[in-house]
Structure 1
Amino acid sequence: MNDLAAVRDRLSAAVSAGMPSALADLSRLVACRSVFDARIEDPAECVRAAELVADLVRAAGVPAAVLPASDGSLAVCGRVPLPGAPRVLLYTHHDVVPVGDVEAWTSDPWTLTARDGRLFGRGAADCKGNLVATLLALTAVREVCGSWPVEVAVVIEGSEEQSTGGMAKLAAAQPDLVSADVIVMADTGNIEAGLPTLTTSLRGTGSVRITVRTMDHAAHSGMFGGAAPDALQALLTTLASLRSPSGETTIDGLDAGGVWEGAAYDEQRFLSDAALLPGVGPLGEGAIGDLLWARPAATVLAIDAPPTARVTAAVQGEASAIVNLRVPATMDPAAAQHLLVEHLRRHTPYGLVEIEPLTLGRGFAAVTDGPAYDAMREAMRAAYGREPVTTGQGGSIPLTVALADLLPQAEIMLLGVEEPASRIHATDESVDPAEIERLALALALFLAGLPNFC
């Protein structure tokens, strides 16, 4: 059973045979409204999800416990020791983002619904599809090999989408839960369906709130407009300074010349993935990958100003905005955020300016030349029938950085069932069942073959 090629067919058959059960489990998981926010969904739904996940992990052969984290979330953790063997930590999460406007969904977001060859429902891809693929892989290896040739640990977080840090604090307090030589984080996906992709870079992030004040109250535009200092106009001028005429982010002192070394992002595919309207093109003058993963990007997330539905003829005395900054994994987000603050101050033409840093998160850059990466690339090549590629991701997965700090020698890889058509975090989220099956086979081949590489 040591030859990866010799076991591929048996593992493939086991994964295929397990798919109906895995999809039934996915249906039960999607039915749990596990949004970790009591203002939006009943907290009992997160408890229900955690208990169901624990049952599924135990059924896959890993003794699991539901552990409370400091933020009030519930994590499912388990381990099957195998002294002397490579230690593999398998990570994903059972919480989901809110569904938003239910009426905007084509079908009930809490009912897994088959349509056009895909399965629709909140969390179908992010991240409950990744969860069932992981458990299917564990089950297949145990069935074919009799036992796992590696030490297996499982961590399934309950508050990843809220970034409240519960699992990171739990891991720091109980490092035995996450101790590993290899960490496989199933929380990303492929750049296109069927193309095996390893995410090797996560951007760092920081956001600030800028407020411009010029008058104690708004003033009639007919009586004072032209001379009265307009706070909203000052703010808009400031925000406009964050972009060059071509649309690239321009923050004084911040390097904007990085080049992405991973897989290229085809411009036509980007137009489709980002749903750009006809006649609208991407910003900037570099390659898409450069702009997304190798250079900083400042985005105005929100502005506090009078809505057009309640317009009055008035010059505004106060206006504010939230600016989010994403930076390449190798860039210090704290230093970049400081430069953003100074830039905003410098480019506000008039008024009293207050700038408050809000969030800050480090990026992650994987070290990809270790034996586990070799094993995963080989497993993905066999499972997908295509050469694996690497990509970056603009979002952050906070636990990734925490685990890299706790386990600096561990190889950390990010992968998953998500792909552009999945529309994660949006209405009509879905997953391609074939992606679940391919990922499960890749993970099974990886677990079965890893000892050959270590």
Structure 2
Amino acid sequence: MQNEVIEYLKKHREKHLSELKDFLSIQSISALSSHNEDVKKAAEWVKKELGNIGFAHAEIMSTDGHPVVYGEYISDVNAPTVLVYGHYDVQPVDPVELWDSEPFDATIRDDKIYARGATDDKGQVFMHLKVMEAILKTSDKAPVNFKVLIEGEEEVGSPNLPKFAQEKKDLLEADLIVVSDSALVERGKPTITYGLRGLAGIQIDVTGAKSDLHSGEYGGGVVNPIHALVKIVDSFRDEKNRIQVEGFYDRVPELSQEERDALASVPFDEEKLKNELNVPELDGEEGYSYVERTSVRPTLEVNGIYGGFQGEGIKTVLPNKATAKVTCRLVPDQDPDEIVELLANHVEKHTPNGVHVDIKPFDKGKPYVTPFDHPVIKMAAEAYEKVYQAETAYIRGGGSIPIVAELDEILNVPVVLMGFGLPDENLHAPNEHLNLENFDKGMETLAHYYYMLNDYKG
């Protein structure tokens, strides 16, 4: 049956690309309230599409924020049930002047489709929808039961989906969850992401005098909040890039040799990366490889720092306030709430006299990992290899999809992260795109995978 499905996908490729362009044209930016109606429009598009492809049940369901779209197609109560998770919301497009084409007017050039959401995550969600369509249009009976959960708040941290999933736990019951919101390590290299880092962040506001002060009259006699903030930020890491927050590493387990060997086999060209990034050297925690540093080790990064006069020229003032935004990528078994508390304690301990400090927590997500020898992981690798004709790499992703850990905890089933993007496709940046080679091969892979799962007994 897979062959009929794949032939259907090939025959309808141009039609599907046209439909994908329609989906990508919707400006579903969840972070901007001015686009709330566009977010609803994208939800309506997904619901309608589920009906078009043959789902008997598809509905938009409310949350405390943007809605989710849920659909199901139950072919055989004795067959395995796959819950496909994805998101229809996208990042803002700024700076728009750096795009080579309009962000929401999908353009194909050099066998790539360019648009916001092309790879993260509308394009990859769309691939699942079209494979399901192909299966339902070419067979009287699907190899698995399908449940689909597509949300509209992933790009703002999925704040309302855990509550929704907990309340709808029985509705979402499945044998496994499949997520395509990740990338291959390089072109032509199948990749299973068997873990994701979590996230914890704080904003540090350092306040000095009640207003900006003349640096000639007060400089040298009053603490400058920028200087105080720099001291705080500098205290976070030592010269070996080891994080100095007390208790930060307490829950971080040592890597097994098997895992280090698997990560060592991941293709990596340091010189190529340095050239691509235009940096003279790479950096990171001493004692670990670049792949380990960016996937299985926790991090602490300053994402933004500002204060004082920002305009052209110079203004000789002591600013009354300086701010830094700090985020940590976390690994099992670090707890985001605990890490925020440790960060706050560290900041308070290292705040110089003469200023006030205020700490605001934000962006929390739990880390996630599943054994990469689980049967559904091995089946995914087999499906990849059947199409890509290359050995699968097993990695832990450096980024975070907070809801993955939540769904794993709530539904207690394996999560398979099989993405079809590439690392250089500019997700979250101007000129985001999806390589159509992976659009085609990805759908073939999913078709094989769904049929392989017919034999899975959870």
1:331 to 319, 322, 334: 334
1:129 aligns with 2:130: no
Question: 1:143 Cα shift?
Answer: 4.4
- 1:129/1:417 contact within 8 Å kept: no
Q: Residues 73, 211 of structure 1: CA spacing in aligned structure 2 closer, same or farther, 3 A cutoff?
A: closer
1:159 aligns with 2:168: no
| Cα distance between partner residues in 1 of 2:386 and 2:309 | 55
1:209 aligns with 2:213: no
| Cα distance between partner residues in 1 of 2:53 and 2:274 | 35
Q: Residues 64, 27 of structure 1: CA spacing in aligned structure 2 closer, same or farther, 3 A cutoff?
A: farther
Question: 1:452 Cα shift?
Answer: 2.5
SS of equivalent to 1:100 = coil
| Cα distance between partner residues in 1 of 2:184 and 2:274 | 12
Alignment of 1:188-227 (within 5 A): 188-227=182-221
> In structure 1, what is the equivalent of residue 439 of structure 2?
436
Q: Residues 320, 398 of structure 1: CA spacing in aligned structure 2 closer, same or farther, 3 A cutoff?
A: same
> In structure 2, what is the equivalent of residue 4 of structure 1?
none
> In structure 2, what is the equivalent of residue 268 of structure 1?
269
Q: Residues 329, 23 of structure 1: CA spacing in aligned structure 2 closer, same or farther, 3 A cutoff?
A: farther
Question: 1:161 Cα shift?
Answer: 1.2
Paired residue type of 2:370: A
1:184 to 178, 181, 185: 178
Paired residue type of 2:223: P
- 2:111/2:437 contact within 8 Å kept: no
1:312 to 307, 311, 315: 315
Question: 1:66 Cα shift?
Answer: 3.0
> In structure 1, what is the equivalent of residue 388 of structure 2?
384
SS of equivalent to 1:177 = coil
> In structure 2, what is the equivalent of residue 60 of structure 1?
53
Q: Deviations over 1:251-283 (max 9, x none)?
A: 233228954644345553696399522424233
Question: 1:36 Cα shift?
Answer: 2.2
* Identical columns (%): 27
SS of equivalent to 2:134 = helix
1:418 aligns with 2:421: yes
> In structure 1, what is the equivalent of residue 361 of structure 2?
357
Alignment TM-score, normalising by the size of structure 2: 0.90
248-257 or 153-162: bigger deviation: 248-257
Q: Deviations over 1:328-368 (max 9, x none)?
A: 13322222222222222222333333323233221111233
Alignment of 1:38-187 (within 5 A): 38-41=32-35, 43-81=36-74, 82-187=76-181
1:427 aligns with 2:430: yes
Question: 1:122 Cα shift?
Answer: 0.8
Paired residue type of 1:284: E
Question: 1:301 Cα shift?
Answer: 1.9
Paired residue type of 2:311: A
54-63 or 78-87: bigger deviation: 54-63
Paired residue type of 1:417: F
| Cα distance between partner residues in 2 of 1:144 and 1:62 | 14
Q: Residues 72, 254 of structure 1: CA spacing in aligned structure 2 closer, same or farther, 3 A cutoff?
A: closer
| Cα distance between partner residues in 2 of 1:273 and 1:155 | 39
- 2:274/2:281 contact within 8 Å kept: no
Paired residue type of 1:400: V
Alignment of 1:236-275 (within 5 A): 236-255=230-249, 259=255, 261=260, 262-264=262-264, 268=269, 272=273, 275=276
Residues paired across the two proteins, number: 446
Paired residue type of 1:367: P
| Cα distance between partner residues in 1 of 2:384 and 2:139 | 19
292-301 or 433-442: bigger deviation: 292-301
SS of equivalent to 1:209 = strand
Paired residue type of 2:280: G
Q: Residues 36, 63 of structure 1: CA spacing in aligned structure 2 closer, same or farther, 3 A cutoff?
A: farther
Alignment TM-score, normalising by the size of structure 1: 0.90
| Cα distance between partner residues in 2 of 1:383 and 1:273 | 31
> In structure 1, what is the equivalent of residue 282 of structure 2?
281
Gaps of 5+ in 1: 1-6
Q: Deviations over 1:154-191 (max 9, x none)?
A: 11112221224333332222223311011001211211
> In structure 1, what is the equivalent of residue 23 of structure 2?
29
292-301 or 260-269: bigger deviation: 260-269
Q: Residues 45, 95 of structure 1: CA spacing in aligned structure 2 closer, same or farther, 3 A cutoff?
A: same
Q: Deviations over 1:373-432 (max 9, x none)?
A: 222121111122112212222332232122112211x11111222211211111000001
377-386 or 278-287: bigger deviation: 278-287
| Cα distance between partner residues in 1 of 2:45 and 2:254 | 45
SS of equivalent to 2:170 = helix
Paired residue type of 1:350: N
Paired residue type of 2:204: I
- 2:205/2:322 contact within 8 Å kept: yes
| Cα distance between partner residues in 2 of 1:374 and 1:164 | 29
- 2:177/2:416 contact within 8 Å kept: yes
Q: RMSD of the TM alignment (CA)?
A: 2.4
79-88 or 359-368: bigger deviation: 359-368
> In structure 2, what is the equivalent of residue 322 of structure 1?
325
| Cα distance between partner residues in 2 of 1:193 and 1:399 | 27
1:301 aligns with 2:294: no
- 1:69/1:167 contact within 8 Å kept: no
